Every structure is written in structure tokens, then in C-alpha cells.
Amino acid sequence: MDNYVKTPHLIEEKSFEIITEELGEKTFPEEIGKIVKRVIHTTADFEYADITIISDGAIEAAKEAVKKGYNIVTDTNMAKSGINKRILKSFGGEVRCFIADEDVAVRAKEEKTTRAMAAMNKAIEDETNKIFVIGNAPTALFKLKEHMEAGRVKPALIIGVPVGFVGAAESKEELEKLDVPYITIRGRKGGSTVAAAIMNAILYMI
Amino acid sequence: MDNYVKTPHLIEEKSFEIITEELGEKTFPEEIGKIVKRVIHTTADFEYADITIISDGAIEAAKEAVKKGYNIVTDTNMAKSGINKRILKSFGGEVRCFIADEDVAVRAKEEKTTRAMAAMNKAIEDETNKIFVIGNAPTALFKLKEHMEAGRVKPALIIGVPVGFVGAAESKEELEKLDVPYITIRGRKGGSTVAAAIMNAILYMI
């Protein structure tokens, strides 16, 4: 019981070494690799090496957006919890999640939609909310797309990785058609931990 | 864009139907099935059907522990965020996570260990903390084991599902040797969303 690794920094370093080794000949450009490996680190699922999609220039755009002090909006408090706020704060940004707000619950009930959609409606009312990190709700991603097409919001980055069996894959297919810097996971997989891992990988690059 | 499912309840119901269908001949006793399917719902990863391990009587013990109003301790704020507090609160319990506490950071530094371990040291000081939900840190699980063996804590349930490449699988192997009601995921997989999904599956049964 005394011979397990107790130093957090070493645990992470060793984990990334193992991941790199097991990826074998599957290599990536440096910054893309950092994102893919952090997702695998978070899930222990190597399938993410094949289904993580990063649009051209998205990493550069993401770093710029953070440096400009834009806020991050997440669809769940889980994703919010998982994002490293210290680095973001040093540039003036913060992580916001409106899903549990009382006015959002009221609006969702009135409009007979998901709270995730009502939360997105609230998010776009403040134009410093420019980075969207969606790990759970396809409806949040669909709603964001509607707002973009209507010219109501112009995100600096969308990390769109809803997980699940109803609408998740479809919402991400739609994301890939949009003219916006994005990072996504093809198919059903994804989730709040994956969303946070991607955002953190970008924050740690800065 | 108008034909996607917007009703949260229907989305979840449909998801569980798809999961049951795709599991095919792989069936489970009802309550075990509810846990396994909720984990798959959270990850979109059917491997969890084969690696989710529930000790004899653990579900019954878990329900009893919730009904007694015991508190849940998580190793991360992500897992805490993901757990349904409403049901727990109706029995008098709450979800606690000490990882971000200032005194925990100080103790971890002094003892040169992980914050996860220092947080576990703090958790066992209050004996109403009886349900442990560990989704991330193997060191939290190892530390909990030490405290159990020293007779300092007697958990009513351990959901021990740390994810990762260094110590995670080993920590869960140790959990399976303990005389305690437990739910675990064999191997590297797991995580905060998985931990919360398992706890929620239990809460929804009550």
C-alpha cells in the first residue's frame, strides 16, 4: 500500500507517456495531440483518437479567444466544474452555466423546451460569452446553431461534444457544417468530462 | 431544424430503449440493469456492460444508506455537480467534496500527497459521511482503504470508479477485496460522470 504514486504531477506525466506509447504509430501534430491525449486521459478510451475532430485554425482561435478575456458558457455544471478557472481568470474570463438558474427553469417550462435550450437563449444575451462548451445537451447545440444562423451570436469557438443516443450525433454533424472554429467528437461519444478536457488542453497550451 | 426531440423526459426514455435494444441478449436483473444502462447512457460506451461490477447486496445497502440520511462524499466537484441532490436532500443527506478546501490544500502540501488523499482524511472526520463516490483519484480510494483497515471509517457504500492509466485499475482491484458494499468498473475506465451516473441510478430507484 505504500508503493503507489502519490505525486499528482508525476501521475499525469506518466499517464501521458503510456497514452503516447499505446497510440503507437498513430501520431498527431503537437497541439492536436495534446487535445486528443487529454481526452483519452479523461476517458481511458482510445477510440477518441479516431473521432476527435478539430476544424482548421480552431486551436489558434481558441487561444486568442481566451487571451481576449471572453467568457466560457457550458451547458452543464459538471463541465463548468471541470474547467480550470485559474488560467482563464488571469485573462479576465470566467466560466458561466445558466442551466440551474431559476429564470431559465421558468422559461423552459413556458416554452415547453429543455432547460438546456432556455439556458442557451440566456447565454447569447451577453456578447462577452463567446466560447461555448457543450458536453451533454444536443438541444443546446441545436439552439446555438439557430441563434448563429439568425445572426444573434458569433461564437469565437464551439466545443460541441454532446454524448448520447438521441440527437447527439446529429447535433454534431450540424456543427461540422457551420462556419465557426469548432472541436467535436463524431458519433455518440463525448460528455461533460470530455468537453472539460478539451477546454483544459487549450488552457494549458497558453 | 424543427424535428428534433425537445422533451427531456422523452429523450431519456428513448435513449434507454435504444440501449436495451442494442444490448440484445445481454440482459441483467432489473436494478443492476438500471445502473449499467445509465452508465452506458452517460458514456455511449457499451463496454461498460461487461466491466461494471456490483457486490452482492450493494444496491440494497446503497438505498438504505440514502434513506438513513447519510452524506455522500465525492473526490471531485465534477462528480458532486452530477449527483441529483433533490432526492438525497429529501432524506436529509447532502453531497460533500473537500478537494477545493483551503485546509486540504495546506495539508496536502505539508504531507506531500495528493489533495485527493488529504480530502479523504478530512472526510472521515465526520461519521455521517458514509457514502463514498470516487470517480477520479486512485489515491483517494487507496487512502480510504487505509482508513478502513485501521478501523477509522466504515462506509455504507463505496462507488469506486477512478479512471486512468496510473493506479486506477489497481485501486479498483483493492476495492474488490474489501468487505464493504461496492460498485466498481474493472480496468482503466470510469470517471466522474460514470460515478455520478451510478449514484443517480440508485437515487432514482428509491
Interface test with A, best of B78, B97, B120, B172 (most A CBs within 10 A): B78
Q: What are the tens digits of pLDDT across the range B104-127? A: 999 999 988 889 999 999 999 999
Does B75 fall in a domain? yes
Does A35 fall in a domain? no
Does A68 fall in a domain? yes
The number of folded domains in chain B is 1
Determine the distance in angstroms separating the CA of A55 from the nearest CA of chain B, rounded to an integer.
23
Block means of pLDDT (10 residues each) for chain A, 206 residues, are 62 94 96 98 98 98 98 97 95 97 95 91 96 96 96 97 96 97 98 98 97
CB contact under 8 A, A45 and B189: yes
What local confidence, expressed as pLDDT, does residue B1 receive? 44
What is the CATH classification number for the domain harbouring B71? 3.40.50.10230
What local confidence, expressed as pLDDT, does residue A4 receive? 60
pLDDT, mean over chain B? 95
Does B86 fall in a domain? yes
Three-state DSSP state, A115 = helix
Write the residue in A6, A166, A187 that is nearest to B15 by C-beta. A166
Measured torsion, CA atoms of residues B53, B57, B62, B68, in degrees rounded to the nearest 10: -170
Three-state DSSP state, A160 = strand
pLDDT value at B145 more than 80:
yes
Does A26 fall in a domain? no
Does A15 fall in a domain? no
Q: What are the tens digits of pLDDT across the range A157-171? A: 999 999 999 999 999
CB contact under 8 A, B14 and A165: yes
Does B127 fall in a domain? yes
What local confidence, expressed as pLDDT, does residue B4 receive? 60
- Looking at this predicted complex, what is its ipTM? 0.93
Question: In angstroms, rounded to a whole number, what is the distance separating the alpha carbons of residues B93 and B156?
Answer: 13
Does A21 fall in a domain? no
Q: Which domain holds residue B134?
A: 50-205
Write the residue in B1, B14, B15 that is nearest to A142 by C-beta. B1
